[in-house]
Amino acid sequence: MDKKTIIFSVIAGILSMGIIYMGSNPNATPAKILGIMERSSQPRQLYHVYLGGESLGLIESKEDLEKYIDEKQGTIKEKYNVKKVYIPNGLDIVQEITYDDEIYTTEEIYQKIENQKGGESFTIDGYQITIAGYEKSTEDGGTEITEDKIIYVLEKEIFTNSVEKTIKSFIPEEDYDNFLNETQEEIVETGTLIEDLYIKNDITISKTRIPADANIFLTEEDLCKYLLFGTIEDQETYVVKEGDTIADIAFNNKLSPDEFLIANTSYKTVNDLLYPGKIVTLGIIQPQFDTVEETHVVSKKVKARETVYEDDNTQYAGYERVKEEGSDGESLVTEKIQLINGEIVSTVPVGEEITIAPVNKVVVRGTRKYQVSWGGSISSGVDVPVGIGSWVWPTNAPYTVTSEFSYRWGKLHKAIDITGTGYGSPIKAANNGIVVTSAYNSTNGNYIVIKHANGYFTEYAHLAARYVQKGDVVYANDQIGTMGNTGYAQGVHLHFGLWAGPAYTGTPLNPRSLYR
């Protein structure tokens, strides 16, 4: 027997043994018994499936898997009223040329996807909207980048319509439409023109595959609520009682009157009447984008009389006698006003026409000081060496109060913000007193605190310049500094505070109460 015949006989014997062995182990093959790697004689085009970078195996048809996934997702189709469901975003199906014959069925791979998704959901067609954050000042004098907001919708119009409705929460609809349509009427004597209107955040909209388990906004109502309040949860409500006013309800529930009006669009002004039994919304506004409105405003304003003093050193400080009452005048004032989300953040005066001239009030006041010594160390506890007289307004006129003593964004604003008199305009002591603080910090900028008789303290913040020092005795109407925007300030203004007891640790009071 030649060598060739012997070799074939051996192989035949091995194969016959293999056949016998396979009878008891049907998964075995002759190649495996021989320790030979089994490969197809020809390479094949297959598809390798990966989920989150992890291999799930090979399949013959990408289209069959995609079709099978679509057919199995009836619940998703019904929930979102869509016709097609797609693979998860983290699933990759890569075409390969391979000898490997270990191929999985479509059903097997689908089951692996279901078992190993690891947070990766099947997807549907829709839109991803990114509302980019931007750099803002912080109360400690630094800056921060607000975080991006991601929103998903199935139809682009749901987002665009919701944005428009949200903007109209801050701007009267008629004014908004006239601006867009370029139909604003020219100002005849008084009035407002919107010069620019824009969203400060960058917004991008891209068509994409949305995970079906994401928070997808299906209605304009839900998206409007989110864009305005930062949540779609129902807001707290209040049942109006007899005697309630908008201002009282707002303050008692940590809202500003403006926030109340934004959350309750059926009311137009803070003086609108409320009816007992009416249900109002108390949601704190947390806009998800910032709407900037830049306006040109001409308005009639009171040209307040100035108080001028004639000093009498025979009388003690605190003595006052009105020599001439005087009278207020009137001005036509032109201003450039910037609002963000309906709140005035900057007022720049550009013109004033006095239509009725004011007549100054003349007051004779005592200037003789009480004999009080504080040993060279000035603190909030020192006695004031001058008596208290009448309260005077701390800025020039005309002016605008941009923020009242009220809650805003859920936090009490413990002062009033006054603007409209211009950068560098005079800031005056509201009454006789002694300066207990003249300093700078990152929040208040340049600021002054004056102690007055009867336990009152006044605060003057964000000044451009300070003209008095700790320990200085001042009289009502003395210039103590100039208006600015130092520290944590949006625009040029005076932050004017009143305290019963030491500033910042006493009880904050509404400064307007001094002038009523």
In a domain, 225, yes or no: no
pLDDT of residue 12: 45
Please tell me whether residues 425 and 406 are part of one structural domain.
yes
In a domain, 151, yes or no: no
Given a cut of 60, is residue 5 above it in pLDDT?
A: no
To the nearest 10°, report the CA torsion of 133, 137, 140, 144.
30
Please tell me whether residues 452 and 511 are part of one structural domain.
yes
Please tell me whether residues 18 and 73 are part of one structural domain.
no
For 280-308, write each residue's pLDDT tens digit.
Answer: 999 888 999 999 999 999 999 999 998 89
For 323-341, write each residue's pLDDT tens digit.
Answer: 999 999 999 999 999 999 9
Please tell me whether residues 54 and 29 are part of one structural domain.
no
Given a cut of 70, is residue 9 above it in pLDDT?
A: no
Please tell me whether residues 368 and 323 are part of one structural domain.
yes
In a domain, 342, yes or no: yes
In a domain, 435, yes or no: yes
Q: Are 91 and 62 in contact (CB under 8 A)?
A: no
Given a cut of 80, is residue 104 above it in pLDDT?
A: yes
DSSP characters over 296-337: EEEEEEEEPPPEEEEEEEEEETT-EEEEE--B-EEEEEEEEE
Give the mean pLDDT of 377-400.
82
2-28 in b/e form (b: 16+ CB < 10 A) is eeeeeeeeeeeeeeeebeeeeeeeeee
For residue 88, the one-letter residue type is: P
153-167 in b/e form (b: 16+ CB < 10 A) is bbeeebbeebbebbb
CB atoms within 10 A of CB 44: 14
Specify the 3-state DSSP secondary structure of 174. Answer: helix
The CA-based angle 387-388-393, given to 5 degrees, is 145
Cα(489)–Cα(503) distance, integer angstroms: 19
> Which residue do the tokens 């291999």 mark?
55
CA 103 to chain centre: 54
Please give the mean pLDDT across all residues of the chain: 88
Cα(65)–Cα(75) distance, integer angstroms: 18
Please tell me whether residues 58 and 92 are part of one structural domain.
yes
Cα(493)–Cα(413) distance, integer angstroms: 14
Per-residue confidence at 21, pLDDT binned at 50, 70, 90?
very low
Q: Are 448 and 480 in contact (CB under 8 A)?
A: yes
Percent of the chain with pLDDT over 90: 70
Please tell me whether residues 78 and 28 are part of one structural domain.
no
Pairing of the two strands 445-451 and 456-466: antiparallel
Give the mean pLDDT of 19-43.
47
| Continuous segment of H or E residues that includes residue 445 | strand 445-451
> Which residue do the tokens 């006052």 mark?
320
Please tell me whether residues 350 and 452 are part of one structural domain.
yes
Cα(368)–Cα(316) distance, integer angstroms: 4
Please give the C-alpha separations between residue 165 and each of 173, 260, 262, 432, in angstroms, as whole numbers.
9, 17, 12, 50
In a domain, 406, yes or no: yes
CA-nearest of 133, 167, 126 to 148 is 133
Q: Domain with 396 in it: what CATH number?
A: 2.70.70.10
DSSP characters over 395-442: B-SS-EEEE-SEEETTEEE-SEEEESS-TT-EEE-SSSEEEEEEEEET
Domain count, the chain: 3
Give the mean pLDDT of 240-245.
95
For 391-449, write each residue's pLDDT tens digit.
Answer: 999 999 899 999 999 987 788 999 999 999 999 999 999 999 999 999 999 999 999 99
Q: Which two tokens stand for residue 164?
A: 């428009």
Please tell me whether residues 105 and 7 are part of one structural domain.
no
Of 121, 142, 171, at which residue does a domain stop?
A: 121
Give the contacts of 345 (CB within 8 A, at least 6 positions apart).
Answer: 338, 339, 402, 490, 491
To the nearest 10°, report the CA torsion of 262, 265, 271, 272.
-160
Please tell me whether residues 299 and 390 are part of one structural domain.
yes
Please tell me whether residues 413 and 493 are part of one structural domain.
yes
In a domain, 463, yes or no: yes
Give the mean pLDDT of 487-506.
93
For 150-195, write each residue's pLDDT tens digit.
Answer: 999 999 999 999 999 999 999 999 999 999 999 999 999 999 999 9
Given a cut of 70, is residue 89 above it in pLDDT?
A: yes
Domain that holds residue 114: 44-121
> Which residue do the tokens 């208290």 mark?
388
Give the mean pLDDT of 262-283.
91
Per-residue confidence at 379, pLDDT binned at 50, 70, 90?
low
Given a cut of 80, is residue 464 above it in pLDDT?
A: yes
DSSP 8-state class, residue 279: E
Cα(406)–Cα(418) distance, integer angstroms: 14
pLDDT of residue 373: 52
Of 121, 144, 171, at which residue does a domain stop?
A: 121
Dihedral sign (CA 115, 116, 121, 123):
negative
In a domain, 331, yes or no: yes
Q: Are 107 and 116 in contact (CB under 8 A)?
A: no
Please tell me whether residues 66 and 22 are part of one structural domain.
no
DSSP characters over 46-103: EEEEEETTEEEEEES-HHHHHHHHHHH-HHHHHHHT-S--B--TTEEEEEEEE----B
Q: Are 84 and 172 in contact (CB under 8 A)?
A: no
**Torsions phi, psi of 490, nearest 5?**
-100, 95
Q: Are 481 and 438 in contact (CB under 8 A)?
A: no
Specify the 3-state DSSP secondary structure of 461. Answer: strand
In a domain, 226, yes or no: no
> Which residue do the tokens 């040109």 mark?
296
Give the contacts of 125 (CB within 8 A, at least 6 positions apart).
Answer: 82, 84, 86, 154, 207, 209, 210
